[in-house]
Structure 1
Amino acid sequence: MEKTLETVPLERKKREKEQFRKLFIGGLSFETTEESLRNYYEQWGKLTDCVVMRDPASKRSRGFGFVTFSSMAEVDAAMAARPHSIDGRVVEPKRAVAREESGKPGAHVTVKKLFVGGIKEDTEEHHLRDYFEEYGKIDTIEIITDRQSGKKRGFGFVTFDDHDPVDKIVLQKYHTINGHNAEVRKALSRQEMQEDLEVAILEVALVMEEEEEDMVVEDLDMATRVGATEVVMTTMEEAIMEVEITMILGIITSNLLTMVQ
Structure 2
Amino acid sequence: DIISTLECFVIISLLAGMHAYVLLFCLILGSQYPSIAEEIKGIASSDPVHRKLFVRGLAWNTTSETLCAAFQEHGEIEEGAVIFDKATGRSRGYGFITYKYMESAQAALKAPSKMIDGRMAVCNLAYESLSYTNVPPDLGQRKLYIGGLSPDTASEMLLSFFGRHGEIEEGSVAYDKDTNKSR
TM-score normalized by the length of structure 1: 0.36
Higher strand share: 1
TM-score normalized by the length of structure 2: 0.49
